[in-house]
Amino acid sequence: MTSTTSTTTTLPSPPGHPVWGHLGRFAEDPVALLREGASLGPLFELRLPRRPAIVGTSPAWNRFVLRDLETFRSRGSLPSLVPHLAGGVILTDAPAHRSRRQQLDPPFRDIEGLRRRVRAAVDARVPSGDFEALGWSIETVKAMLNAAMFSGGFPAGLLDDYLRPLEQGVPSALIPRPLVRRAVRRELAVQLRARQDRTGPDGGSDLASALAHVPDAVEELRVGLAAGFDTTAHTLAWCLWYLGSHAAWQPVERRRAAVNEVLRLHPPGFLSSRKTAVTTAFEGVVIAQGTHVFTSPLLTNRLPELWDEPDRFDPGRFERGVRGWSYLPFSAGPRTCLGAHLARLLIDEALDAVLQEPLRAIDGDPSPHAGITIAPTGPLHLLRGHHPAAAPTSPSPPSPDPGVRP
């Protein structure tokens, strides 16, 4: 949407370095920087290298940015800096984006056939007694993704090597690793070729089979593996911690609301980035061509004007309804997360397997740590099963971030 106004409004901005702007603070603690900026108003500016950046928090801003693929482009935005995510539909802009999503959406939505394989991968790893939830979630999500995408046939060692930088976070996840990337692409090509002529009861029962004849499927699977890994693993760890701290939400009929609330408090994609292709304007603020614009589910999901007691864990709020464009755990608009349905399935099956017995949080560090996604710092120790002899304990107190209050 091209601007027709000449009015420019000076936006508030948090304190930054006189030369480097907010780059250092953004690298060190992006969540603190974002929250400080949000305290200044619904729109604020960050000074990053080469180009300014504008961050908005309101539902109106989310709608403005996320619906308009012509003005707000992905190429040149933050995902371009993360080698695991730099490719595929994530960086495909209009007009090609629409046809690409039409090719990819059906396999990623019609996923009920994956449930049995996913559940088998979880059942093989169900913990007993005292276990550490963050590490368990990371390893279990790897196994579930392998089962869903490749029927468990992707080499586990190569998968570990590829995904390890995402476990380690920044700066590790920003370092190109061309040798591993090429090895992953070669293996993906082998996996796809093996499925292109497959017939029989297993044909088409995993995502690689469903994508076998889609052009550039190697790149979509490579990016999909990465995009679905740490986001899902960290969300699963959060869910286990909160459900272990709030037993009333463990029954299956109440669990979905609890997962929704975890996604509100700790959205894995806490910052979404675009770059303006043309000059535009929002509520009198002129946004120049080439400006980085950000939406932040982390900020929107905790606005007091949208959420009562926004830092409190209260799954019951979802029974009261949610205002449009105010809850964005998987983004929204034409770029809604391609793997949202798959992530839900993985989390649902993992929780259902673990919660066949009672779960209780014991101790740990649930304070949020921001890297590519928001992760609990950990460790997170929980107790699964009936253990009447165990001494009663309480989860460790939260960090200064009130959003992790158990």
The pLDDT tens digits for 325-351 are 999 999 999 999 999 999 999 999 999
Find all residues with CB under 8 Å of 175, minimum gap 6, and list them: 83, 165
Q: Give domain status of residue 9, yes or no.
A: no
**CA dist., res. 86 & res. 92, Å (int):** 10
pLDDT at residue number 319: 85
Both tokens of 39, joined, read 């305290």
Q: Nearest-5° angle of CA 80, CA 86, CA 87?
A: 135
- Residue 7: its pLDDT value, please? 33
Quote the pLDDT of residue 399.
Answer: 38
86-96 pLDDT per residue, tens? 999 999 999 99
The token pair at 3 is 């601007």
Question: What 8-state DSSP symbol labels residue 397?
Answer: P
What is each CA distance from 27 to 170, 232, 331, in whole angstroms?
A: 8, 23, 23
Q: Is residue 259 part of a domain?
A: yes
Is the model more confident about 51 or about 379?
Answer: 379
Confidence band, pLDDT 50/70/90 cuts, at residue 388: low
Is there a domain that residue 166 lies in? yes
Domain assignment of residue 347, yes or no: yes
Considering the domain boundaries, does residue 14 fall inside one? no
The predicted model gives 369-381 an average pLDDT of: 93
User: Residues 247-285: pLDDT tens digits?
Assistant: 999 999 999 999 999 999 999 899 999 999 999 999 999
Q: Classify residue 115: in a domain, yes or no.
A: yes
Report DSSP state, residue 130. E
Mean pLDDT of 396-404: 39
Alpha carbon distance 56, 37 (integer Å): 10
* C-alpha to C-alpha distances, 175 to 164, 168, 377, 391, nearest whole angstrom: 12, 11, 22, 45
Which token pair is 228? 């679905």
**pLDDT higher than threshold 70 for residue 5:** no
Region 150-174 average pLDDT = 95
- The reported pLDDT for the residue numbered 9 is 55
DSSP annotation string for 36-82: HHHTT-SEEEEE-SSSEEEEE-SHHHHHHHHT-TTTEESTTSGGGG-
Q: At what angle do helices 340-354 and 217-245 cross, to 10 degrees?
A: 40
Q: What's the CA gap between 217 and 220, in Å, rounded?
A: 5
Who wins on pLDDT, 49 or 116? 116
Q: What total of structural domains would you count in the chain? A: 1
Q: What is the span of the domain harbouring residue 35?
A: 23-404
Residue type, 397: P
Pull the structure tokens for residue 242.
């909160």
- Establish if 13 belongs to a structural domain: no
Calculate the average pLDDT of the chain.
91
| pTM for the whole structure | 0.92
Question: Is pLDDT above 50 for 395?
Answer: no
pLDDT digits (tens, 9 = 90+) for 306-315: 999 999 999 9
Give the model's pLDDT for residue 170. 86
| pLDDT digits 0-9 by tens, 6-60 | 334 589 999 999 989 999 999 889 999 999 999 999 999 999 887 789 999 999 9
Encoded amino acid at 311, one letter: D
In a domain? residue 54? yes
Q: In this predicted structure, what is the pLDDT of residue 197?
A: 78
Q: Is the pLDDT of residue 118 over 60?
A: yes
Region 296-321 average pLDDT = 94
Measuring CA to CA, which residue among 20, 188, 15, 211 is closest to residue 107? 211
Q: CA 139 to CA 137: how far, in whole Å?
A: 6
How far is Cα 185 from Cα 169, in angstroms, rounded to an integer? 22
CA–CA gap between residue 14 and residue 34 (Å, rounded): 9
pLDDT of 400 higher than 50: no
Cα 247 to Cα 384: distance, rounded to the nearest angstrom: 12
Cα 303 off chain centre by: 20
Exposed / middle / buried, residue 405 (Cβ in 10 Å: 0-12, 13-18, 19+):
middle
- Tell me the mean pLDDT in the region 289-314: 96
Domain of residue 232, CATH code: 1.10.630.10
Please list, residue by residue across 278-312, b when 16 or more beta carbons sit within 10 angstroms of its beta carbon and e when fewer do: eebbbeebebeeebbbbbbbbbbbbeeebbeebee
